[in-house]
């Protein structure tokens, strides 16, 4: 997925409210960490487009420490059933997406993370390999998940751009947007073959993460049944 991570814009998507909403309560806040050139800003924008397509209010905007290629970049997305009034950076995310695993020991990417939050890290390594055993244990294996998004991007896009794949993984992990809405948003953001390739990468990552979460939850059911 291509994007200009230097683009300093705030995107507010305001749909016609859906009667009754989706019953999810307060805004769901997502913080995305990555590096310049990885499509961090585009990821938040596409997530907001997908939420809008499903009848919710959404907001996406970036924050930059440096604009050079490879420098740490953060973007934010809020999803709500009601109009979103705040434009402050997200300090207590409900979900955290890390597009570059080398950031986990260089930047405080986990700041403000509650015990009930979701974490998705782009890597083929385990949380143990990353030195994040305590974090994974605190959140639980069905909320802290890794996904080889760069490898999937290379396979389906031919380029190491992990954001589309990670959005698919985010959908599987959190259930806050559907894969179909993300695929539609990617097609709108990148018409033609690029949109199709990004959607394919997202679908592949969705399957990877969904399988991980399903396995963990199935094991939990079996363990509980055995204990009884």
pLDDT at 220: 79
pLDDT at 19: 30
Predicted confidence (pLDDT) at residue 105 exceeds the cutoff of 80:
yes
**6: exposed, middle or buried (Cβ count in 10 Å: 0-12, 13-18, 19+):** middle
Beta-bridged to residue 13, according to DSSP, are 58
pLDDT in tens, 152-193: 999 999 999 999 999 999 999 999 999 999 999 999 999 999
CA distance to 51, 58, 160, 204, per residue, from 28 (Å): 11, 10, 28, 24
pLDDT in tens, 44-99: 999 999 999 999 999 999 986 555 778 899 999 999 999 999 999 999 999 999 99
pLDDT at 66: 53
CA distance to 27, 86, 112, per residue, from 89 (Å): 13, 9, 12
Q: Is 3.40.920.10 the CATH number for 11-220?
A: yes
Q: Give the domain ranges of the chain.
A: 11-220
Extract the tokens encoding 117: 């939050």
pLDDT at 64: 64
pLDDT in tens, 108-138: 999 999 999 999 999 999 999 999 999 999 9
pLDDT in tens, 5-16: 322 334 444 333
Q: Which residues are CB-neighbours of 4 under 8 A, at least 6 positions away?
A: 41
pLDDT at 7: 29
d(CA 218, CA 69): 42
pLDDT at 22: 38
């Amino acid at each position: 997925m291509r994007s200009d991570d230097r683009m300093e814009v705030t995107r507010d998507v305001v749909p016609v409210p859906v009667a009754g909403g989706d019953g999810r309560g307060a805004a769901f806040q997502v913080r995305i960490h990555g590096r310049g050139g990885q499509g961090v800003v585009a990821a938040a924008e596409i997530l907001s487009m997908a939420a809008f397509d499903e009848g919710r209010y959404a907001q996406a905007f970036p924050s930059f420490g440096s604009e050079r290629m490879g420098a740490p970049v953060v973007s934010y997305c809020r999803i709500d059933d009601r109009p979103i009034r705040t434009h402050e950076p997200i300090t207590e995310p409900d979900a955290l997406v890390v597009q570059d695993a080398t950031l986990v020991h260089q930047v405080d990417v986990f700041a403000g993370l509650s015990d009930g939050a979701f974490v998705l890290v782009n890597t083929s390594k385990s949380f143990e390999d990353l030195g994040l055993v305590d974090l994974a244990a605190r959140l639980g294996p069905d909320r802290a998940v890794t996904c080889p998004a760069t490898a999937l991007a290379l396979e389906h896009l031919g380029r190491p751009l992990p954001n589309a794949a990670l959005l698919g993984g985010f959908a599987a992990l959190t259930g806050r947007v559907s894969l179909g809405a993300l695929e539609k948003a990617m097609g709108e953001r990148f018409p033609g073959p690029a949109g199709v390739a990004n959607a394919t990468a997202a679908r592949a990552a969705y399957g990877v993460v969904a399988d991980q979460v399903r396995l963990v939850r199935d094991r939990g059911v079996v363990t509980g049944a055995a204990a009884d």
